Amino acid sequence: MIGFHVSASSAVPTYMQLVEQVRRALRLGRLEPGDRLPTVREVAAAVTINPNTVLKAYRELEHEGLVEGRPGQGTFVVRSLSGPSPQTLDKLRTSLESWVDQARAAGLEPVHIRAVVDGTIGSLLDAEESA
Amino acid sequence: MSPALVADRLTKRYRRTVALDRCSFAIPERTIVALVGPNGAGKSTLLGCATGLVRPTEGTVSVLGAPVGDRALPRVGFVAQDAPLYRNFTADELLTMGAKLNGDEFDGAFGRARLEEVGIPLDRRVDRLSGGQHAQVALCLALAKRPELLLLDEPLASLDPLARREFLSALMDAAAERPMTVILSSHLVADLERVCDQLMVLRSGQVKVLGATDDLQATHKLLVGPPQRRRPRIAGVGQIVSASKAERQIQLLVRTSGDIVDPAWDQFDVSLEDIVLGYLAADRPIELLDLEEADA
């Protein structure tokens, strides 16, 4: 179970702060599929916020397909967001940077670079999906 | 959703003063309303009218679909300012009294369980409790009535920050436990910002603004622009709420009616407190700027 907190001085709406805390816990592996989120009542009392705000946050998470409300049981995590390790990401980013440098050296404008990247990713992933 | 409270040209005059001046509004059910305004704005009179303790001079109030009176009263909970309780009673005795005065719907067991949860001794006289505990006992008595509409007049005014937090936490727990409409009055919106989803600003007996806090924040902007000689006309501005002037620029708090794209004006988001202060600031904001009304 995770604990929520809310910053009054933040420009981020309260319900969004809750949504982001769940997303972050999912990315860090602190929440995993099958885990139950605290009830609306528990969050409202613990954080001292309007229960409707908590409901709104949970509905948003449900809409994103991250959690699922089960009547009479609570709200459960159904999808994980934990991705590759930071080292792996670093490595991938470095190789992409050297490719972007090559593209610039070849005289491509940012728009063209993006088009090439999008096009390549699109066709590769499409092929993968249809395979 | 049907409204929890409807006022129609609600007016209350005392000898020389007008406490409420033709207030017409509807409060949606299952919301938590921050009723905000300076001292003397009419907040207590408004809550008094909703309970039936204050009789309107003109106009009507209905609560939960019925006119204020015997039929509605069992479904309404009310804690008056300073949470008056019989001081030589214990919390337990007050709950017994509540049950005898209210009948079957009063849930004494629920009240005792709640007080134990927040660590208040049931057998101690009320005048031996701390301010925070006193407020919790009053809240608990009102909640034990299992009201559908709960009215709290300045519930936080005499509490220290920790007791405020504990009081609001108990209130949020109750609001999440079963559907209820809550109206809390305060002269400070900051206290209620986290817990309310509706804001109502009262000033000089009139409702200056009432709406969902999300909508109000989405539709109010602070505009900063060049000095004006006439009342500015800015596309996308529905109402100029308040205005202030410095030598080289003026600031306007506006309620928008659409997107504002005028490059002469920088726009900024505002807090709920900014909105409250804007509506409390002035009746006729533009006159304060010594601007001429634009020709129609």
Tens of pLDDT, residues A17-63: 999 999 999 988 889 899 999 999 999 999 999 999 999 999 999 99
Instruction: Report pLDDT for B58.
Output: 96
- Residue A60 sits in the same domain as residue A22: yes
Task: Tell whether B177 lies on the interface with A, counting CB pairs under 8 A.
Answer: yes
Tens of pLDDT, residues B132-179: 999 999 999 999 999 999 999 999 998 999 999 999 999 999 999 989
Whether residue A6 is contained in a domain is answered as no
Whether residue A119 is contained in a domain is answered as yes
Tens of pLDDT, residues A54-96: 999 999 999 999 999 999 899 999 998 877 777 888 898 999 9
Which B positions 15-34 lie with beta carbon below 8 A of chain A? Answer: 30-32
Nearest in space to B222 (alpha carbons), one of B256, B175, B261? B256
- A13 contacts in chain B (CB < 8 Å): 214
- Residue A30 sits in the same domain as residue A60: yes
- Residue A63 sits in the same domain as residue A95: no
- A53 contacts in chain B (CB < 8 Å): 197
- Separation of CA B226 from chain center: 36
Q: How confident is the model at residue A4 (pLDDT cuts 50, 70, 90)?
A: very high
> Using an 8 Å Cβ cutoff, are B140 and B109 in contact?
no
- Residue A69 sits in the same domain as residue A96: no
CA distance to partner chain A, nearest, from residue B107 (Å): 20
Whether residue A69 is contained in a domain is answered as yes
- B214 contacts in chain A (CB < 8 Å): 13
Q: Say whether B169 and A52 touch across the interface (CB within 8 A).
A: no
- A59 contacts in chain B (CB < 8 Å): none
Q: What would you measure as the largest C-alpha separation in chain B, in angstroms?
A: 71
> Using an 8 Å Cβ cutoff, are A52 and B213 in contact?
no
Whether residue A7 is contained in a domain is answered as no
Q: How far apart, in Å, are the Cα atoms of B97 and each of A19, B84, B116, B144, B151?
A: 44, 14, 18, 12, 20
Span B3-204: which CATH code? 3.40.50.300
> Using an 8 Å Cβ cutoff, are A65 and A79 in contact?
yes
When scoring A7, A39, A52 by the number of chain B Cβ atoms within 10 A, the one with the most, hence best to mutate, is: A52
- Residue A92 sits in the same domain as residue A124: yes
Q: Say whether A45 and B269 touch across the interface (CB within 8 A).
A: no
Question: In whole angstroms, what is the distance from residue B293 CA to residue B291 CA?
Answer: 6
Please determine, for residue A131, whether its predicted confidence score (pLDDT) is greater than 80: no
- H/E stretch holding B31 reads none
Please determine, for residue A3, whether its predicted confidence score (pLDDT) is greater than 90: no
Number of domains in chain A: 2
- Residue A60 sits in the same domain as residue A90: no
Nearest in space to B47 (alpha carbons), one of B175, B158, B186, B156? B186
Q: Say whether B194 and A49 touch across the interface (CB within 8 A).
A: yes
- Separation of CA A88 from chain center: 18
Instruction: Report pLDDT for B86.
Output: 94
Residue intervals in chain B for CATH 3.40.50.300 = 3-204
Q: What parts of chain B have a pLDDT lower than 70?
A: 1, 282-296
Query: Over chain B, what is the mean pLDDT?
Result: 91
Whether residue A27 is contained in a domain is answered as yes
Here the tokens at position B220 are: 């109010």
Please determine, for residue A10, whether its predicted confidence score (pLDDT) is greater than 80: no
Task: Tell whether B117 lies on the interface with A, counting CB pairs under 8 A.
Answer: no
Residue A118: what are its φ and ψ, rounded to 5°?
A: -60, -45
Task: Tell whether A52 lies on the interface with B, counting CB pairs under 8 A.
Answer: yes
Task: Tell whether A10 lies on the interface with B, counting CB pairs under 8 A.
Answer: no
Mean pLDDT to the nearest integer, A99-124: 91
Task: Tell whether A8 lies on the interface with B, counting CB pairs under 8 A.
Answer: yes
Strand partners, B8: B60
Can you give the CATH number for the domain in which A62 is found?
1.10.10.10
Q: Say whether A52 and B196 touch across the interface (CB within 8 A).
A: no
> Using an 8 Å Cβ cutoff, are B12 and B49 in contact?
yes
Residue B172: which of A13, A39, A50 has the nearest Cβ? Answer: A50
CA distance to partner chain A, nearest, from residue B94 (Å): 25
Hey, what amino acid is at B219?
A: T
Instruction: Report pLDDT for B215.
Output: 92
- Residue A90 sits in the same domain as residue A66: no
Q: Say whether A52 and B32 touch across the interface (CB within 8 A).
A: yes
Residue A98 domain boundaries: 86-130
Which residue, A33, A59, A77, sits at the end of a domain? A77
SS3 A20: helix
CA distance to partner chain B, nearest, from residue A57 (Å): 14
Instruction: Report pLDDT for B287.
Output: 57
Q: Could you tell me the pTM of the whole model?
A: 0.82
Here the tokens at position B198 are: 């509706």
Task: Tell whether B214 lies on the interface with A, counting CB pairs under 8 A.
Answer: yes
Whether residue A2 is contained in a domain is answered as no
- Give the residue from chain A lying closest to B34, CA to CA: A50
**DSSP per residue, B80-126:** -TT----TTSBHHHHHHHHHHHH-TT--HHHHHHHHHHTT--TTSBG
Nearest in space to B150 (alpha carbons), one of B181, B193, B119, B129? B181
Q: How far apart, in Å, are the Cα atoms of A16 and each of A4, A6, A59?
A: 12, 10, 11
A–B interface: beta-carbon pairs under 8 A: 48
- Residue A73 sits in the same domain as residue A91: no
The reply to whether ipTM tops 0.90 is no
Task: Tell whether B168 lies on the interface with A, counting CB pairs under 8 A.
Answer: yes
Instruction: Report pLDDT for B296.
Output: 38
